[in-house]
Amino acid sequence: MPKHVLVLNGPNLNMLGIREPKTYGSQTLGDIEAMCKAEGKRLKLSVECRQTNREGELVEWIQGAYGKVDGIVINPAGYSHTSVAIRDAISAVAIPTIEVHLSNIHAREEFRHFSYVSAVAVGVICGLGAAGYRLALEALAERLGD
Ligand code: DQA
């Protein structure tokens, strides 16, 4: 059975391609999800991608992953900097989770420097654009083994 990985994207990431391309790149969320699927195939992972603008939905998806999902890649977007609830959900399910940001949040406004999620993630990738998702999947595949 291939390992199952959930790729979760938070609010406003459905606007990629239109949204501040200088900061977030010109790829759409569809492009990034297609890349994640292709990378999943290469790494023999089963990859499922979801996006929502709602915090509670992210919490429910993380809770629902318990016992079903082997790893999570998450870009919590704006909720990174505000959501104790998403952090608690990741802690609760204890599924290895990698946090990804397209932009380098440390080189931006101060309010983006802190992420509630980082301390409960196994690792954080930021500032590498869409490649961050690919690298996160590679790291999870290595961590999860066959
Ligand atoms: C982001 C960075 C966040 O600060 C911002 O709110 C986002 C996207 C990123 O991918 O660079 O929506 O998570």
Residue listed under structure tokens 């931006």: 108
135 has a pLDDT exceeding 90:
yes
In whole angstroms, how far apart are CA 86 and each of 56, 72, 80, 98? 8, 13, 8, 13
DSSP state of 26: S
Q: Whose CA is nearest to atom 13 of ligand 1?
A: 77
Q: Which ligand 1 atom sits closest to the C-alpha of 76?
A: 13
Cβ–Cβ < 8 Å for 8, 72: yes
Contacts of 146 (CB under 8 A, 6+ apart): 44
Cβ–Cβ < 8 Å for 136, 75: no
Which residues lie with the beta carbon below 6 Å from any ligand 1 atom? Answer: 12, 75, 77-78, 80, 101-103, 105, 112
The alpha carbon of 90 and the centre of ligand 1 are apart by a number of angstroms equal to 18
Select from 142, 109, 107 the least CA-distant residue to 123.
Answer: 142
pLDDT interval class at 30 (50, 70, 90): very high
Q: What is the mean pLDDT of the chain?
A: 97
% pLDDT > 70, the chain: 100
Structural domain boundaries, residue 53: 3-144
Q: Which ligand 1 atom sits closest to the C-alpha of 101?
A: 10
CATH code, domain carrying 119: 3.40.50.9100
67 has a pLDDT exceeding 80:
yes
User: First vs last Cα of the chain: how many Å apart?
Assistant: 9
48 has a pLDDT exceeding 90:
yes
- pLDDT tens for each residue of 82-113: 999 999 999 999 999 999 999 999 999 999 99
- How far apart are the C-alpha atoms of 137 and 143, rounded to whole Å? 10
Counting the structural domains of the chain, the total is 1
Q: Which are the catalytic amino acids?
A: 24, 101
